[in-house]
Amino acid sequence: MTGFDGELFAGRTVVVTGAGRGIGAAVAAAFLACGARVVAHAGRTLEHAETDLMARVPAETRDRLVLLTQDLGAPDGGKALADKVLAEVGVIDVLVNNAGTMGGRIRAGEETAADYDHVLDLNIRSVVDLTGRLLPALRAGTTPAIVNTVSISARSGGSAGSALYSGTKAFVSAWTKTLAKELAPDGIRVNAVSPGTIMTDFHRRYSSDEKLAATAASLPLKRLGLAEDCAPAYLFLAADPLSAYITGQILEVNGGQLMP
Ligand SMILES: NC(=O)c1ccc[n+]([C@@H]2O[C@H](COP(=O)([O-])OP(=O)(O)OC[C@H]3O[C@@H](n4cnc5c(N)ncnc54)[C@H](OP(=O)(O)O)[C@@H]3O)[C@@H](O)[C@H]2O)c1
């Protein structure tokens, strides 16, 4: 259950990447609950969608859900996913670029060519390529919007070993603003959500329990975030009735961890 229902996105087509688990799953489920047809890129496989995403999606809304898979860490991943999306839908109203990862804690001086390729292809190249290929379908949409997932680390620098990752998220933050200016004449708004420390598989992979407990204790709201804490920010930035005059902005969702 998402805590949402209604018709805010009834009749609208929403594409969400990285929707098989974590933040993307909560976002896809929230758009479904608000009446959208959702084309969900589940990840590299359907493995996590079958548990995380599908557990959030009531049976009666599943006929509005299309699941796709694609490795976005491959150099042509974004273009390949775009082709799969366009085989399903010709018009897109909302694109959520959410798939991404840190690719491991990589210390300064220890970066390999494979690290660059993986982190930059996934977090930058696939996002730019997918968006570029979907622009004609977005231009045909109704009050279209793009919402990107960046990270608190784009502003804070993140913690040790996250430099490549944090840099990619800073890129997407800047690109969000450039795109907002470039696409405004087309009527497309472009914004980003910047999560803080959200308890998903992401931090189960990259952060120790001790580090997470210390982070939670340091936050003004005294708890780590949940994927469900992030989803409303995506709905807000995608919904013309709620945010028609907002573009080129980065919305921080972090329990007060950073107050820029
Ligand atoms: N959790 C946080 O605290 C946090 C904070 C700031 C920003 N973020 C950002 O939020 C977004 C979602 O993260 P999350 O916390 O929900 O993490 P998650 O639970 O690990 O989910 C990541 C999603 O991205 C997909 N993905 C990763 N590598 C991929 C690849 N090579 N090809 C295709 N899909 C791939 C995953 O698919 P697979 O199942 O195939 O891996 C999954 O669907 C990411 O962009 C992340 O950088 C998270």
Whether residue 101 has its Cβ less than 6 Å from ligand 1: yes
Range of the domain at 190: 13-253
Residue 184 domain-assigned (yes or no): yes
- E strands, 92-167, are 94-97, 145-149
Helices 126-139 and 77-88: crossing angle, nearest 10°?
A: 30
The candidate with the shortest Cα–Cα distance to 131, out of 171, 168, 100, 94, is 94
Nearest CA to ligand 1 atom 23: 18
Q: Is the CB of residue 73 below 6 angstroms from any atom belonging to ligand 1?
A: yes
Residue minimizing CA distance to atom 38 of ligand 1: 43
Q: Judge whether residue 110 has pLDDT over 70.
A: yes
The answer to whether 29 touches 234, Cβ cutoff 8 Å, is no
How large is the average pLDDT for residues 89-117? Answer: 96
In a domain, 224, yes or no: yes
Element (H, E) at 190: strand 189-195
In-domain check, residue 33: yes
Q: Is 18 in the pocket of ligand 1 (CB under 6 A)?
A: yes
If you average pLDDT over residues 174-199, what whole number do you get?
A: 98
Q: Is residue 3 part of a domain?
A: no
User: Residue 49 has what pLDDT?
Assistant: 97
Task: Write down the mean pLDDT value for the chain.
Answer: 96
Domain assignment present for 258: no
Q: Is the pTM of this model over 0.75?
A: yes
What is the count of structural domains for the chain?
1
For residue 196, give the ligand 1 atom closest to its CA.
5
- State the Cα–Cα distance between residues 115 and 164, nearest whole angstrom: 8
The beta-strand segments (E) located in 69-158 are 94-97, 145-149
Q: Rounded to 5, what percent of the chain is helix, strand, coil?
A: 50, 15, 40
Q: For position 206, what pLDDT does the model report?
A: 87
Ligand 1 mean position, distance from CA 183 (Å): 26
Residue in 71, 96, 189 with CA at minimum distance from that of residue 149: 96
- The candidate with the shortest Cα–Cα distance to 98, out of 12, 5, 227, is 227
| pLDDT at residue 256, as a whole number | 98
Please give the structure tokens belonging to residue 63.
């006929």
User: What digits encode the pLDDT tens for the residues 141-163?
Assistant: 999 999 999 999 999 999 999 99
Residue 53's pLDDT is what?
98
Tell me, yes or no, whether 126 lies in a domain.
yes
Q: In this predicted structure, what is the pLDDT of residue 6?
A: 84
Mutate to test the pocket of ligand 1, among 45, 130, 200, 204 (most ligand atoms within 8 A of CB): 200
Atom number, ligand 1, closest to the C-alpha of residue 118: 31
**Is the minimum distance from the CB of 22 to ligand 1 under 6 angstroms?**
yes
- Which positions are annotated as active-site residues? 165
Cα→Cα distances 124→64, 128, 130, 241, 258, Å: 29, 6, 10, 30, 24
Burial of residue 91 (CB within 10 Å: 0-12, 13-18, 19+) is middle
Residue range 74-94, pLDDT digits in tens? 999 999 999 999 999 999 999
Portion of the chain with pLDDT greater than 70, in percent: 99
pLDDT value at 68 more than 60: yes
Average pLDDT for residues 166-172, to the nearest whole number?
98
The residue whose CB lies within 8 Å of the most ligand 1 atoms, and thus the one to mutate among 148, 202, 229, 234, is 202
Question: Within a domain: residue 242?
Answer: yes
Phi, psi angles (nearest 5°) of residue 2: -110, -15
What pLDDT is recorded for position 2?
A: 64
**What's the whole-number mean pLDDT along residues 99-127?**
95
**Tell me, what's the pLDDT at 65?**
98
Q: What H or E segment, with its residue span, contains residue 211?
A: helix 209-218
Is residue 255 in contact with ligand 1, taking CB distance under 6 Å? Answer: no
- 68 bridge partner residues: 41
CATH code of the domain covering residue 118: 3.40.50.720
Cα 153 to averaged position of ligand 1 atoms, centre (Å): 15
**Which residue's alpha carbon is at the smallest distance from atom 2 of ligand 1?**
198
pLDDT tens by residue, 2-33: 667 789 999 999 999 999 999 999 999 999 99
Q: Is 158 close to ligand 1, i.e. is its CB under 6 Å away?
A: no
Q: Is residue 159 part of a domain?
A: yes
